[in-house]
């Protein structure tokens, strides 16, 4: 599989089936590493966070999960949720899922723009993401939903609507879109929100999750 980096009990996997315009991971260098060698690099880790770009697109992704699981490692998987059949297959190995939400599931033009997909693919993506979350919830997995807060794409009305579709989860993470080369590539038309705007969504989020995390230039709360 293509790996961006490993370390601190985290694996960052290369390649993705989306093309988000602000993504900094798509252009990162990768190296080919066999799943068994990834596992060796994670020796002594009791829990591992696998994210990236997108882990589920790799043919040997399940082998990595299986080998970590055999060693008793607790796995957190961060995914865009597009490949719901892969979420299904990963259930025996994954303790917690982190689903990144791009935008209002019903606003296909926004989802298409924020994911870099055609309208047709964006519609399929929205449906698959909701299906992936449903699969994880119905199988009793811990769930964090991860929102990149970009003005014009997430506001209080849209946020409530999205969370009504998702339902109650363990954690919500609200991340301030930073528009910075090292974090979220600046893109014309995508503005950085005020940190106070992100904090306002926190109050709504508390109705839908046991724990809410807010991250941005104002720190982590």
- Binding positions for ligand SF4, rule: CB under 6 A: 16, 18-20, 23, 25-26, 52-54, 80
What SS3 state is found at 214? strand
Q: Residue 217, Cβ neighbours under 10 Å: how many?
A: 11
Minimum CB separation of residue 206 from ligand SF4 in Å reads 26
Minimum CB separation of residue 220 from ligand SF4 in Å reads 20
Task: Give the Cα separation of 78 and 12 in Å (integer).
Answer: 10
* Residue 109 backbone zone (phi > 0: left; psi -120 to 50: alpha; other: beta): alpha
Tokens representing 187? 């893109």
What SS3 state is found at 99? strand
Main-chain phi, psi angles of 57, to 5 degrees: -80, -10
Minimum CB separation of residue 190 from ligand SF4 in Å reads 12
Minimum CB separation of residue 205 from ligand SF4 in Å reads 21
Nearer to ligand SF4, 80 or 163 (CB): 80
Nearer to ligand SF4, 52 or 193 (CB): 52
Task: Give the Cα separation of 201 and 129 in Å (integer).
Answer: 22
Nearer to ligand SF4, 19 or 211 (CB): 19
DSSP run (H or E) holding 45: none
What SS3 state is found at 60? coil
Minimum CB separation of residue 114 from ligand SF4 in Å reads 8
Minimum CB separation of residue 189 from ligand SF4 in Å reads 17
Nearer to ligand SF4, 57 or 73 (CB): 57
Nearer to ligand SF4, 160 or 185 (CB): 185
Residue written as tokens 């519609």? 123
Task: Kindly tell me the sign of the dihedral angle through the C-alpha atoms of 104, 108, 113, 114.
Answer: positive
Nearer to ligand SF4, 11 or 67 (CB): 11
């Amino acid at each position: 599989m293509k790996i961006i980096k490993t370390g601190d009990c985290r694996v960052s996997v290369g390649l993705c089936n989306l093309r988000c315009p602000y993504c900094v991971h798509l252009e990162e260098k990768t190296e080919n590493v066999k799943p068994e060698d990834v596992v060796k690099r994670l020796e002594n880790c009791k829990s591992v966070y696998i994210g990236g770009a997108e882990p589920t697109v790799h043919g040997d992704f399940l082998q990595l999960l299986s080998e970590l699981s055999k060693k008793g490692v607790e796995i957190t998987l961060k995914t865009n949720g597009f490949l719901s059949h892969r979420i299904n297959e990963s259930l025996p190995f994954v303790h917690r899922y982190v689903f990144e939400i791009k935008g209002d599931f019903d606003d296909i033009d926004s989802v298409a723009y924020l994911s870099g997909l055609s309208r047709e693919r964006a519609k399929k993506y929205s449906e698959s993401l909701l299906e992936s979350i449903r699969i994880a919830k119905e199988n009793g997995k811990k769930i964090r939903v991860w929102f990149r807060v970009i003005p014009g794409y997430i506001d209080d009305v849209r946020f409530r609507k999205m969370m009504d579709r998702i339902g109650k989860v363990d954690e919500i993470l609200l991340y301030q879109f930073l528009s910075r080369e090292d974090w979220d590539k600046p893109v014309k038309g995508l503005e950085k929100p005020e940190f106070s705007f992100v904090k306002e969504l926190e109050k709504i989020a508390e109705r839908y999750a046991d724990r809410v995390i807010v991250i941005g230039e104002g720190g982590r709360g």
